[in-house]
Chain A
Amino acid sequence: MTDLIIMQLFTAFLGSLGFALLFQVRRERLLLASLGGFLAWGVYLLMGMATSQDVIRYFVASVVLTVYAEILARAVKCPATLFIVTASIPLIPGGSLYRTMQHFMQNDLDAFSRQGLTTVLLAVAIAVGMLFPTAIFQLLHRVRNR
């Protein structure tokens, strides 16, 4: 169990690093971008102790990674998108999306609708989790500029 956790944290880091390289992130930002993936999956795993609801775990992980991204964006002066995209890689429900379509191909419509709903819910959890911190940071920015 702990083996799998360590392996997942490590590969979450590597996966984020891979996508950061693929998306042409500058070398100076690679470490910070990949650490975001590590952080996001770490929060997801930690939340597992508090709740077994995947949607809530994804939501909290997404909030934390966006706060991380927004803080870094201001610290190193670059768009927050850069860190949001790379850090959210381990959370992205790609596997779930694939399984949904697999059920569709196998003509298993019950499993398709169940898995499809899960995929969309997870994506909604991540997307909404990203909205709140961004909105709050924008509000703070506006208040400070006044």
Chain B
Amino acid sequence: MEDTPFHFFSPDEINQLSRMEEADRANEYLYRVLDIGQHMLQCGGEVSRVEDSIRRLCLSFGAERADVFTITSSIVVTIYAHRFGAVTQTRRITGSAYDLRRLELLNQLSRRICAEHLNLEETEQALGKILATPQRGFGMQVLTYALISSSFSLFFGGSALDAAASGVIGIVLKCLDGLIRKTEANAFLSSLLCACLGGLLAGLAVRFHLGDNVDMISIGNIMLLIPGIALTNSLRDMFSGNTISGLMRFIEAVLLALTIAFGFALVAALI
């Protein structure tokens, strides 16, 4: 027998164990970073902004290299550092709705993390606080729908009566949207139903002399439903090099627009 002192683990194994421990920590950090990236993407951050933020966050958490690939429906990140090796995580992203206040706060948070090197708990706490900030209430959203509908009815040359009708229909559409959202139905189905109801009410309003021109009433509601912003952003994505994201958004926007036109056309043919 050799008389070297007994070690439970050889130095090589200890080295390996500490690497595994470090990799565990890196995984934990990466998970939070992906949380931030996911919420940024979901509340309307551009792909390039999300990729940039994730890369900066990973580097500030001690990664030597960070490769980030983001499209609108997924994030893939691999970080590498000598002390923990390569660590990869992916995240599937579903559903997004503009929330520019949240985006602003997340942006501030990621800057703060990079500048002050927050630890895991502090990051989690700050993120939780951001996600807990309340959105505008349902009543306010209903009024907003009316405001947008009336504004665009006038913008495109409608009369005051058209604007009023459009505003009222906007309110009805918001209520329908709220109901459909509770059932978590398919986005296209919800747009189709809103378009059908919008077309129907606009037709009825003109028939009962509560409006002058069906097109002028409808355009206000259409501006609410039509994915014009998504179309423009999809081209912006493509021009800034995020071709896949851009194409996905472009096709989504075109299909959604088709659905909405179909909804209005369907009802116009019936009444």
Contacts and interface: CB of A to CB of B under 8 A. Distances in A.
B66 interface: no
Contacts of B29: none
Nearest to A88: B232
B107 A18 contact: no
Contacts of A126: 232, 235
A127 interface: yes
A7 to B, nearest CB: 6
A100 B101 contact: no
A81 B236 contact: no
B232 A127 contact: yes
Contact of A98 (B145, B155, B239, B257): B257
Contacts, number: 138
Interface in B166-223: 219, 222-223
Nearest to A122: B232
A22 B228 contact: no
Contact of B239 (A7, A12, A100, A128): A128
Kindly state the interface size class of chain B when it binds its partner: 35 or more
Contacts of A86: 100
A20 B262 CA distance: 28
A97 B231 contact: yes
A63 to B, nearest CB: 13
B212 to A, nearest CB: 16
A26 B226 CA distance: 24
Contacts of A8: 155
Contact of B240 (A77, A79, A131): A131
B252 to A, nearest CB: 13
Contact of B235 (A14, A85, A90, A127): A127
A17 interface: yes
Contacts of A90: 155
Most chain B CB inside 10 Å of its own CB: which residue of A8, A88, A94, A102: A94
A93 B100 CA distance: 21
B258 interface: yes
Contacts of A82: 100, 103-104
25 contacts: A11-B152, A12-B155, A14-B151, A20-B100, A22-B141, A22-B148, A23-B98, A23-B99, A24-B99, A24-B101, A24-B135, A79-B100, A85-B229, A86-B100, A90-B155, A93-B231, A97-B226, A97-B257, A98-B222, A101-B261, A101-B262, A102-B261, A102-B264, A123-B232, A131-B236
Given A18-B144, A79-B100, 17 more contacts: A7-B155, A15-B148, A15-B155, A15-B223, A19-B148, A22-B144, A81-B45, A82-B104, A85-B100, A85-B229, A89-B229, A95-B222, A98-B257, A98-B260, A101-B257, A104-B258, A106-B265
